[in-house]
């Protein structure tokens, strides 16, 4: 068993989590414990590195995740600082399995100081359930405090079509990376089922959901893809911030050009945004 415990540190999914959390902290998007990640793992990915019959603790949830019963996740911990994840993974991360009753989860590795999964776990699970209905390959939910997107939520219209259009205009790649645009929910207290339900409803159609004055939620197939999705939207928000600071737009990518871009890359822009 000691050898197996040591082996998990060579697991690709753990190394990916260490790299991703480090990058999110480096970019200033996850100050303190300001963010969370959950990564759905297949059993065959876990078995070479962990004895899945050795349950450390079982933690109750106030949410029914029966649709994910028996599924494995590696998740960030509640109150854990992203800057500490890489140097001490076993305290700041945990590998969990959703109990067959759907109302609790089993800790198989990690959270060694008595910690638990992120307080946003119900929100993550709701959104995993929704995205799996849309695309069975979607395995990552990522939440972080992207600085310029948060700033835009104070100064820009929060109408999804208008916000999406602005981001598409700021960087040519944006329409290609998120042609479905982004969703926006009202301000809601975090860590509640209400914010999870509102986000999951948006995730029926989009992979990016803005929490105004708080941060962004992203979904994707891999940690790299999901990080890249958020990174692209945040870069566009940063350009928008600079454009405003320089006095505003004097020219932009036109609707016709955006449609030409969509045609060239074989993507379908969200309806109701391009005035063509």
| Residue extents of the structural domains in the chain | 2-265
Q: How much is the pLDDT for 3?
A: 44
Q: Which residue in 120, 225, 231, 238 is the catalytic one?
A: 120
Q: How much is the pLDDT for 97?
A: 98
Fold of 2-265: L-fuculose-1-phosphate Aldolase (3.40.225)
As annotated, the binding site for Zn(2+) includes 143, 145, 214
What tokens were used for 30? 């996850």
pLDDT tens, 167-188? 999 999 999 999 999 999 999 9
Q: How much is the pLDDT for 68?
A: 97
Q: How much is the pLDDT for 151?
A: 98
pTM for the full model?
0.93
Q: How much is the pLDDT for 1?
A: 40
Q: How much is the pLDDT for 6?
A: 60
pLDDT tens, 83-140? 999 999 999 999 999 999 999 999 999 999 899 999 999 999 999 999 999 999 999 9
For the chain, list residues with pLDDT below 50: 1-5
Strand segments (E) across 81-235 = 93-98, 104-110, 140-144, 183-184, 208-211, 215-220
CA distance linking residue 73 with residue 75, whole number of Å:
6
- Is residue 160 part of the annotated active site? The answer reads no
Q: How much is the pLDDT for 23?
A: 95
What tokens were used for 273? 């945004």
Nearest one of 204, 218, 90 to 145, comparing CA atoms:
218
Strand segments (E) across 61-103 = 72-76, 93-98
């Amino acid at each position: 068993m000691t050898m197996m415990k040591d082996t998990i540190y060579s697991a690709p999914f753990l190394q990916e989590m260490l790299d991703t959390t480090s990058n999110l902290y480096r970019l200033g998007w996850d100050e303190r414990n300001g963010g969370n990640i959950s990564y759905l793992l297949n059993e065959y990915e876990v078995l070479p590195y962990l004895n899945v019959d050795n349950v450390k603790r079982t933690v109750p949830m106030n949410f029914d995740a029966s649709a994910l019963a028996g599924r494995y996740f590696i998740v960030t911990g509640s109150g854990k600082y992203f800057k500490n994840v890489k140097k001490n993974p076993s305290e700041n991360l945990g590998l969990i399995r959703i109990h067959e009753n759907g109302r609790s989860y089993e800790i198989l590795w990690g959270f060694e100081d008595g910690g638990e999964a992120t307080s946003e776990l119900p929100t993550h699970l709701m959104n995993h359930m929704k995205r799996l209905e849309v695309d069975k390959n979607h395995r990552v939910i990522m939440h972080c405090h992207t600085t310029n997107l948060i700033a835009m939520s104070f100064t820009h219209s929060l109408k999804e079509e208008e916000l999406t259009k602005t981001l598409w205009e700021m960087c040519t790649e944006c329409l290609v990376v998120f042609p479905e645009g982004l969703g926006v929910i009202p301000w809601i207290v975090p860590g509640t089922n209400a914010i999870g339900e509102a986000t999951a409803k948006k995730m029926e159609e989009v992979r990016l959901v803005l929490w105004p004055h708080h941060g962004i939620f992203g979904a994707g197939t891999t940690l790299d893809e999901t990080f890249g999705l958020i990174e692209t939207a945040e870069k566009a928000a940063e350009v928008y911030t600079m454009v405003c600071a320089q006095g505003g737009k004097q020219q932009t990518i036109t609707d016709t050009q955006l449609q030409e871009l969509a045609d060239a890359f074989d993507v379908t822009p969200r309806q109701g945004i391009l005035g063509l």
